[in-house]
């Protein structure tokens, strides 16, 4: 069985450089960030730009939205984290995390906004997660720190961090391929997965917060069951499925809301749609450049991808 | 009024004798604020004298000190000359435009200086105990001998001739001496319980002339040292020597300014800010400010370097930084200590390091029969297509001979690449159907000789000849490229003669590797050092970090991989830009065909593609 996805429309004018993150919000709009330092809000029906953030001098590398789709959190490559109100267009808060002299914090690399938009998590070069306040009045103030205990003290670069949709867990992936899941309330590590040995660039939660999909440079996507405790420590424990098929790094992943399909973008210039029950690739979309951002429509049935040329494309099945 | 020489003060016994036995407290003219002595370029100063009579009266301290001389001079060493003369030579009546005369009476028992005033001033003569130098300028002529020789200079003024003969080296020597003398002068005026001391805080030139001190209280007999007040700035007992700190040395208004490497907010990330014109100085202090270390080693290191540099100047025997380091390894510790200090001293006096007679050892190589370097002392260094030739120091090169058939110049970062290309006679053009060219390497970060050669070629060659750079697509490669093209942070004051604005970056670009078929896994993971270096470079102003380079660094950081020249080995589809039959000729040309040919092949193909494209676009 294969699904056909056809191009619905593209963005009216794209970013000047590669799109490095896309998110289809619950408010049925698409937010995107780019290497040229801009972030944009797009109308999903027409592809027109609704508004865009004033350009940042350096590239934006991380994007996260809250459950309602009213606020977006972005982070730039040097560690300037900002909160963007999507309805009004204002920047509600900014934190310059590269100023290490201030608190002994490290520059943020990947950031994630909690679903209720009260806190956000950031991770950086040392691989520890710092939870900050996302309240506009106290934006950026450090609330907590979570750190995986590492057996070997090797350098772990935190590549991606993400809140689960129910707000109870935080997942983090590292440049070495490890994936850690923390329980926020108990402030402890509940799961660690060693399914990859190469950089895991992106994580995607399922809507019920039970499954975690990881996209790695080893050309695979691995679906993990977060419910099972991986205390046995065996490599691969907790992994439910492995999706193979890409011929180069997998850069981005997204799980559909109904839990049936996964989408992945890769540096082999394709977007693949996977059926999770059969673990097979059901559709391949050939693109012209690397795909760093894929995002399913929360209501289902459509997909948005962000490409190397800076444009966004909407696909419907 | 008695004069104290620093030599005398060094002996504790003498101090006691002088200070305590003599009823009349010794007054001496406080040495000039030490700023002008070694800030060449600044050419005015104010000298303060002590009013002897007022000192004995009950008048307020302000009356004790008066500005007795203020003068603008044309050059720093002239100022130095005058200032030190009047300070040290008591017989000399110093007559200024302000009609102030200073007369210094020597106590008969305190005669220190017996030498007569010498027109050809050389501080060495006044401190026979300090330096064992023979005639300071060796074989060179100075005013003294000229005068006595009674020569005819074709109508020129004696001063002009002397000036012409006294080259930059003598100025440099004078600057070095000034630094040492200021230290000694400060040493002579350290706080003492009995007498007044005025402590010197190094002040900026503007402050010296503008902010005449209001008061310099002379400590009374209770000798509370805390009463002594710095005339110019904040109180600081002890000795201060300031030398330039090159990291934050500012440029003139038409130059570029490097922001010092501190974190700044994002709103200022991209602006081309000009640091203020005042150069930044760092101060070596005694007593040391920090609790953990003593300042004596810092002074010792500074003076050892100055001593060796002065010796090189005076005896006219060039030395190198490495040489200086090995003269006293336990003192210096690391080669970089000497390196930084020598460059800082040169920056303080705003002279090129070669003027200190410290030569940089060359490490750069070039290859290509089209280039010949003619040296000042005769002799020609001619290039060869097969062999590498060491690039001579910039001060040795008289002129550069370039063949008309020269079509391109390639600067490579790595010596290994250079040797590969030399072995296959790439510069001759035969193997690549490109035309003859010149390959230069700096073996990593280029030294002065390499940079100045590239600069020369850039200014001499016609615009149709492209000057290209092949560096790794990582942070250090781009930094090396930046050093060639825009200058280095450490030699900002010599920048203009060393930059090569024409230099184009042809590779390796991380973004193009996908197009030429290099597998992403062939790229090398980023290390923490790479990451920090790249982040630091992203903060540079746009003038020295073009957008294209910034984009490459950004993508490299995001990808967590860097592209090195070795990655080309796995390139599967290098375009053949407009050059017919390159592959055939490359495979069939004999000497280097064999195992490893594949590496040479891919690199050559890549370079041919890039150079041909650059050459053809340069011709348009």
Contact status of B554 with chain A (Cβ, < 8 Å): yes
Work out the pLDDT band at B359, boundaries 50, 70, 90: confident
Among B266, B523, B557, B561, which would you mutate to test the A interface (most chain A Cβ atoms within 10 Å of its Cβ)? B266
User: How many domains is chain B built from?
Assistant: 2
Cα separation, A105 vs A103, in Å, equals: 5
Residues B409 and B341 in one domain: no
Task: Report CA dihedral (B539, B545, B551, B553) to the nearest 10 degrees.
Answer: -60
Interface of A with B (CB under 8 A): 17-18, 20, 35, 56-59, 61, 76-78, 80, 96, 98-101, 107, 125, 155, 157, 159, 175, 199, 217, 248-249, 267, 290
The mean predicted confidence, pLDDT, of chain B is: 64
Work out the pLDDT band at B518, boundaries 50, 70, 90: confident
List pLDDT tens digits, range A22-40.
999 999 999 999 999 999 9
How far is C-alpha B154 from the chain's CA centre? Answer: 38
Give a yes or no: residue B85 inside a domain: no
The last residue of a domain, from among B297, B330, B359: B359
Given this model, what pLDDT does residue B512 score?
85
| Catalytic residue list of B | 326
In Å, how far is B435's CA from the nearest CA of chain A? 36
Indicate the range of A14-23, B284-293, B366-375 predicted with least confidence. Answer: B284-293
Residues B340 and B407 in one domain: no
Give a yes or no: residue B354 inside a domain: yes
Residue B154 confidence (pLDDT) above 70:
no
Q: What is the mean pLDDT of residues B216-234?
A: 37
CA nearest neighbour of B235 among B203, B194, B188: B203
Indicate the range of B46-60, B263-277, B520-534 predicted with least confidence. Answer: B263-277
Work out the pLDDT band at B224, boundaries 50, 70, 90: very low
Q: What is the mean pLDDT of residues B478-493?
A: 80
Residues B459 and B337 in one domain: no
Residues B393 and B455 in one domain: yes
The CATH number for B324's domain is: 1.10.10.10
The share of chain B scoring above pLDDT 90, in percent, equals: 13
Higher-confidence residue: A46 or B354? A46
Higher-confidence residue: A152 or B234? A152
The last residue of a domain, from among B359, B394, B425: B359
* Tokens 């996964």 found at: A262
List pLDDT tens digits, range A136-195.
888 888 888 888 876 555 558 899 999 999 999 999 999 989 999 999 998 888 888 888
CB atoms within 10 A of CB A184: 19
Instruction: Please list every residue in chain B whose beta carbon sits closer than 8 Å to the beta carbon of residue A290.
Output: 514
The CATH number for B481's domain is: 3.40.1360.10
Residues B349 and B379 in one domain: no
List pLDDT tens digits, range B7-37.
333 334 444 343 333 333 333 333 332 222 2
The last residue of a domain, from among B295, B325, B359: B359
Residue B577 confidence (pLDDT) above 60:
no
Given this model, what pLDDT does residue A229 score?
61
Indicate the range of A60-64, B243-247, B317-321, B610-614 predicted with least confidence. Answer: B243-247
Give a yes or no: residue B480 inside a domain: yes
Residue B468 confidence (pLDDT) above 70:
yes
Cα separation, B234 vs B540, in Å, equals: 34
Contact status of B270 with chain A (Cβ, < 8 Å): yes
Residue B571 confidence (pLDDT) above 80:
no
Q: Which of B172-176, B320-324, B396-400, B550-554 has the highest mean pLDDT?
A: B550-554
Give a yes or no: residue B201 inside a domain: no
Strand runs (DSSP E) across B81-182, as ranges?
A: 94-95, 101-102
φ and ψ of B329, to 5 deg: -60, -40
In Å, how far is A164's CA from the nearest CA of chain B? 24
Given this model, what pLDDT does residue A131 score?
92
Q: Report residue B565 as tokens.
A: 């020249």
Instruction: Please list every residue in chain A whose beta carbon sits closer than 8 Å to the beta carbon of residue B538.
Output: 58, 77-78
Kindly write down the DSSP assignment for every residue of B354-422, as one continuous string: GGGTEEPPP--EEE-TTEEEEETTS-EEE--SSS-EEPPPGGGEEEEEE-TT--EEEEES-HHHHHHHH
Decide if A56 and B560 are in contact by the 8 Å CB cutoff. no
The answer to whether B369 and B384 have CB atoms below 8 angstroms apart is yes
Name the residue facing B520 among A58, A61, A267 (closest C-beta): A267
Give a yes or no: residue B78 inside a domain: no
Residue B143 host element (H or E): helix B143-149
Over the range A45-71, which residues count as b (16 or more CB within 10 Å of their CB) and which as e? eebebeebbeebbbbbbbbbbbbebbb
Decide if B269 and A217 are in contact by the 8 Å CB cutoff. no
Give ∠ CA A170-A174-A176 in degrees, rounded to 5: 150
Residue B501 confidence (pLDDT) above 70:
yes
Name the residue facing A77 among B514, B521, B557 (closest C-beta): B557
CA nearest neighbour of A113 among A136, A97, A96: A136
Decide if A58 and B521 are in contact by the 8 Å CB cutoff. no
The share of chain B scoring above pLDDT 70, in percent, equals: 50
Q: What is the mean pLDDT of residues B410-425?
A: 91
Give a yes or no: residue B415 inside a domain: yes
The predicted complex's ipTM stands at 0.92
Query: What is the extent of the structural domain holding B263?
Result: 256-267+280-359
Give a yes or no: residue B396 inside a domain: yes
Residues B462 and B491 in one domain: yes
In Å, how far is A304's CA from the nearest CA of chain B? 22
Q: Report residue B469 as tokens.
A: 């750079």
The answer to whether B143 and B162 have CB atoms below 8 angstroms apart is yes
List pLDDT tens digits, range B420-457.
889 888 888 866 678 899 999 998 888 888 998 999 99
CA nearest neighbour of B600 among B468, B423, B427: B423
Cα separation, B187 vs B164, in Å, equals: 35
Residues B505 and B415 in one domain: yes
Residues B456 and B330 in one domain: no
The answer to whether A38 and A76 have CB atoms below 8 angstroms apart is no
Q: What is the mean pLDDT of residues B565-590?
A: 59
Nearest CA in chain B to A80: B266
Give a yes or no: residue B291 inside a domain: yes
Given this model, what pLDDT does residue B159 score?
57
List pLDDT tens digits, range B56-112.
454 444 444 444 444 444 444 454 555 554 444 433 333 333 223 233 333 343 333
The mean predicted confidence, pLDDT, of chain A is: 88
* Tokens 């991986």 found at: A230
CA nearest neighbour of B439 among B505, B384, B361, B507: B384
Decide if A35 and B521 are in contact by the 8 Å CB cutoff. no
Residues B353 and B371 in one domain: no
Domains of chain A: 14-244+251-256 (2.130.10.10)
Write out residues in chain A with pLDDT < 50, as ranges. none
- Length of chain B counted residue by residue: 620
The answer to whether B567 and B523 have CB atoms below 8 angstroms apart is yes
Residues B290 and B390 in one domain: no
User: Which whole-number Å values give the CA distances from B598 to B432, B594, B610, in the listed order?
Assistant: 15, 8, 18
Given this model, what pLDDT does residue B489 score?
63
Among B271, B558, B560, B572, which would you mutate to test the A interface (most chain A Cβ atoms within 10 Å of its Cβ)? B558
Residues B384 and B516 in one domain: yes
Residues B487 and B546 in one domain: yes
């Amino acid at each position: 069985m294969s699904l056909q996805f056809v191009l619905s429309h593209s963005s009216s004018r794209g970013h000047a450089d590669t799109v490095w993150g896309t998110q289809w919000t619950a408010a049925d709009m698409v937010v995107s960030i780019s290497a040229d330092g801009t972030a944009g809000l797009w109308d999903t029906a027409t592809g027109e730009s609704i508004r865009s953030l004033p350009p940042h001098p350096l590239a934006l590398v991380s994007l996260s939205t809250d459950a309602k789709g009213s606020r977006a959190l972005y982070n730039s490559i040097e560690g300037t984290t900002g909160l963007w109100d999507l309805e009004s267009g204002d920047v509600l808060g900014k934190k310059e995390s590269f100023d290490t002299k201030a608190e002994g914090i490290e520059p943020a690399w990947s950031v994630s906004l909690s679903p209720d938009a009260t806190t956000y998590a950031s991770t950086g070069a040392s691989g520890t997660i710092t939870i900050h306040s996302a309240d506009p009045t106290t934006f950026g103030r450090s609330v907590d720190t979570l750190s995986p205990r590492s057996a070997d003290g090797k350098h772990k670069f935190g590549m991606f961090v993400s809140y689960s949709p129910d707000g109870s867990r935080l997942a983090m992936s590292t440049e070495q391929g490890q994936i850690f899941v923390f329980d926020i309330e108990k402030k402890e590590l509940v799961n660690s997965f060693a399914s990859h040995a190469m950089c895991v660039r992106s994580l995607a939660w399922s809507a019920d917060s039970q499954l975690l999909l990881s996209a790695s440079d080893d050309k695979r996507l691995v679906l993990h069951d977060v419910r099972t405790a991986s205390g046995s420590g065996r490599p691969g424990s907790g992994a439910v499925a492995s999706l193979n098929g890409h011929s180069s790094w997998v850069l981005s992943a997204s799980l559909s809301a109904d839990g049936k399909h996964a989408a992945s973008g890769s540096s082999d210039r394709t977007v693949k749609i996977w059926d999770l029950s059969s673990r097979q690739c059901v559709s391949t979309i050939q693109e012209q450049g690397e795909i760093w951002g894929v995002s399913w429509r929360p209501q289902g049935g459509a997909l948005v991808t962000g490409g190397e040329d800076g444009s966004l494309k909407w696909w419907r099945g | 009024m008695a004069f104290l020489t620093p030599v005398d003060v060094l002996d504790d016994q003498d101090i006691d004798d002088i200070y305590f036995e003599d009823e009349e407290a010794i007054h001496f003219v406080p040495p000039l604020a030490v700023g002008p002595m070694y800030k060449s370029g600044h050419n005015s100063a104010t000298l303060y004298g002590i009013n002897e009579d007022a000192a004995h009266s009950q008048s307020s301290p302000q009356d004790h000190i008066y500005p007795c001389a203020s003068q603008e001079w044309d050059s720093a060493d002239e100022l130095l000359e005058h200032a030190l003369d009047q300070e040290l030579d008591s017989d000399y009546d110093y007559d200024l435009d302000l009609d102030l005369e200073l007369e210094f009476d020597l106590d008969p028992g305190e005669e220190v200086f017996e030498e007569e005033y010498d027109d050809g001033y050389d501080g060495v003569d006044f401190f026979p105990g300090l330096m064992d130098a023979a005639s300071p300028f060796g074989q060179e002529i100075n005013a003294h001998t000229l005068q006595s020789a009674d020569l005819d200079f074709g109508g020129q003024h004696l001063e002009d001739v002397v000036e012409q003969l006294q080259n930059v080296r003598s100025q440099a020597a004078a600057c070095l001496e000034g630094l040492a003398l200021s230290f000694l002068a400060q040493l002579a005026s350290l706080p003492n319980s009995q007498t007044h001391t005025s402590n010197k805080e190094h002040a900026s030139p503007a402050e010296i002339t503008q902010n005449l001190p209001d008061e310099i209280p002379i400590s009374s007999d209770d000798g509370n040292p805390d009463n002594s007040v710095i005339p110019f700035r904040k109180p600081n007992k002890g000795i201060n020597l300031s030398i330039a700190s090159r990291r934050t040395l500012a440029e003139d208004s038409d130059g570029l300014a490097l922001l010092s490497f501190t974190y700044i907010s994002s709103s200022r990330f991209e602006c081309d800010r000009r640091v203020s014109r005042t150069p930044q100085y760092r101060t070596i202090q005694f007593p040391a400010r920090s609790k953990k270390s003593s300042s004596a080693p810092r002074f010792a290191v500074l003076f050892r370097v100055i001593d060796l540099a002065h010796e090189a100047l005076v005896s006219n025997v060039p030395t190198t930084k490495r040489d200086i380091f090995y003269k006293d390894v336990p003192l210096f510790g690391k080669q970089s200590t000497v390196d930084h200090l020598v460059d800082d001293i040169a920056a303080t006096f705003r002279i090129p390091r070669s003027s200190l007679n410290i030569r940089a050892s060359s490490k750069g190589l070039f290859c290509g029969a089209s280039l010949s370097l003619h040296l000042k002392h005769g002799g020609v260094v001619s290039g060869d297509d097969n062999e590498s030739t060491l690039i001579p120091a910039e001060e040795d090169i008289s002129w550069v001979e370039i063949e008309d058939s020269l079509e391109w110049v390639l600067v490579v970062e790595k010596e290994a690449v250079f040797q590969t290309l030399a072995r296959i006679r790439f510069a001759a053009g035969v193997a690549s159907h490109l035309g003859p060219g010149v390959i230069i390497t700096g073996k990593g970060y280029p030294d002065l000789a390499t940079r100045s050669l590239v600069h020369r070629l850039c200014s001499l060659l016609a615009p149709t000849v492209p000057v290209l750079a092949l560096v790794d697509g990582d942070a250090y490669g781009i930094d090396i490229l930046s050093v060639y093209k825009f200058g280095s942070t450490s030699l900002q004051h010599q920048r203009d003669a060393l930059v090569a604005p024409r230099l184009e970056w042809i590779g390796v670009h991380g973004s193009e590797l996908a197009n030429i078929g290099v597998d992403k896994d062939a790229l090398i993971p980023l290390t923490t050092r790479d990451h920090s270096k790249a982040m630091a470079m992203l903060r540079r102003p746009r003038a020295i970090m073009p957008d294209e380079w910034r984009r490459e660094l950004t993508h490299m950081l995001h990808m967590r991989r860097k592209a090195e020249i070795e990655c080309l080995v796995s390139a599967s589809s290098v375009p053949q830009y407009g050059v017919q039959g390159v592959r055939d000729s490359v495979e069939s040309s004999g000497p280097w065909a064999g195992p490893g040919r594949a590496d040479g092949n891919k690199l050559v193909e890549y370079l041919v593609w890039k150079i041909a494209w650059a050459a053809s676009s340069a011709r348009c």
